[in-house]
Chains A and B, each alone.
Chain A
Amino acid sequence: MRDVAIIGIGQTKVGEHWDLGLRHLALEALQAAMKDAGVERADALYVGNMLSGELTGQEHLGALIADFAGLRGIEAVKIEAACGSGAAAVRMGYIAVAGGLADVVLVVGVEKMTDYLGPRVTAALAMAADADYEASQGVSFVALNALLMRRYMHEFGYRKEDFAPFAVNAHANGMNNPNAMFHLKVTPESYARAPMIADPVNLLDSSPVCDGAAAVVLAPIEWARQLDHPVVRIAASAIGTDALAIHDRRDPLTLEGAALSAHRAYQQAGLGPKEIDLFELHDAFSIMAALSLEAAGFAEKGKGVRLALDGEITLHGRIPIATMGGLKARGHPVGATGVYQIVEVVQQLRGEAGDNQVPDARIGMAQNIGGSGATVITHILERVG
Chain B
Amino acid sequence: MTLAGTWRLRHQRYQLQGEVCEKCGSLIFPPRDVCPECEAPAKTPYTFSGRGEVYSYTTVYHPPAGFEEDAPYTVALVRLEEGPMVTAQLTDVDAEQVEIGMPVEMVTRRISAEGEEGIITYGYKFRPVLRRTRG
Do the two shown chains form a genuine complex with each other?
A: yes
Q: A245–B32 Cα gap in the complex (Å)?
A: 12
At the interface, yes or no: A4 with Cβ under 8 Å from chain B?
Answer: no
Task: Give the contact-size bracket for chain B.
Answer: 35 or more
A211 to B30, CA, bound (A): 35
Residue contact B66 to A123, C-beta cutoff 8 Å: yes
Is there an interface contact between B61 and A197, defined as CB atoms closer than 8 Å?
yes
Q: Which of A136, A140, A146, A245 has the most CB of B within 10 A?
A: A136
Contact with B along A152-175 (1 / 0, CB 8 A): 001000000000000000000000
Given contacts A151-B55, A151-B56, contact A138 B70 (CB under 8 A): yes
A133 & B30 in contact (Cβ 8 Å cutoff):
yes
Picked from A118, A143, A148, A151, the residue with its CB within 8 Å of the CB of B75 is A143
A135 and B64 in contact (CB under 8 A), knowing A147-B58, A151-B56? yes
| B77-104 to A contact mask, C-beta < 8 Å, 1/0 | 1000000111111000000000010000
Whether B111 and A143, one on each chain, are in contact in the complex, defined by CB atoms closer than 8 angstroms, is no
How far is A140 from B76 in the complex, measured between Cα atoms in Å?
12
B89 A138 Cβ-Cβ under 8 A: yes
B56:A150 contact, CB within 8 angstroms: yes
Surface stretch bound by B, among A18-26, A58-66, A246-254: A246-254
Q: Which of B56, B65, B70, B111 is the most central at the interface, judged by chain A CB atoms within 10 Å of its CB?
A: B56
B47 at the interface (CB under 8 A from A): no
Once bound together, how far apart are the Cα atoms of A119 and B56, in whole Å?
24
CA distance A203 to B95 in the complex (A): 20
From A118, A120, A133, A196, residue with most partner B Cβ within 10 Å: A133
Q: Which residues of A contact B67 (CB under 8 A)?
A: 119, 138
Q: Chain A nearest CB: distance from B100 CB in Å?
A: 5
- Tell which of A133, A138, A196, A198 touches B64, judged by Cβ atoms closer than 8 Å: A138
In the complex, whether B9 has a CB less than 8 A from a CB of chain A is: yes
CB atoms of A247 and B75 under 8 A apart? no
- Nearest-neighbor residue (CB-CB) of B84 within chain A: A247
Query: Does A134 make an interface contact (CB < 8 A)?
Result: yes
Q: In the complex, A198 Cα to B65 Cα: how many Å?
A: 16
Which of B12, B59, B73 lies in contact with A199, CB distance below 8 A? Answer: B59
Q: Is B62 an interface residue (CB 8 A)?
A: yes
Do the beta carbons of B65 and A199 come within 8 Å of each other?
no
Name which of B9, B64, B123 has the most chain A CB atoms within 10 A of its CB: B64
Collect the chain B residues with CB atoms within 8 Å of residue A140's CB. 60, 62-64
Q: Does B22 contact A (CB under 8 A)?
A: no
**Given B9, B64, B73, which contacts A126 in the complex, CB threshold below 8 Å?**
B64
Could you tell me if B65 and A122 are in contact, using CB atoms closer than 8 angstroms? Answer: yes
Interface residue B121 (Cβ < 8 Å from any Cβ of A): yes
Contact of A119 with B75 in the complex, beta carbons under 8 Å: no
Residue B68 interfacial (CB < 8 Å): yes
Given contacts A133-B12, A137-B123, could you give 8 more A-B pairs where the C-beta distance is less than 8 Å?
Answer: A119-B62, A119-B67, A139-B75, A140-B63, A198-B59, A198-B60, A198-B61, A248-B32
Interface residues of A (CB under 8 A from B): 118-120, 122-123, 126, 132-140, 142-143, 146-148, 150-151, 154, 196-201, 243, 245-248, 252
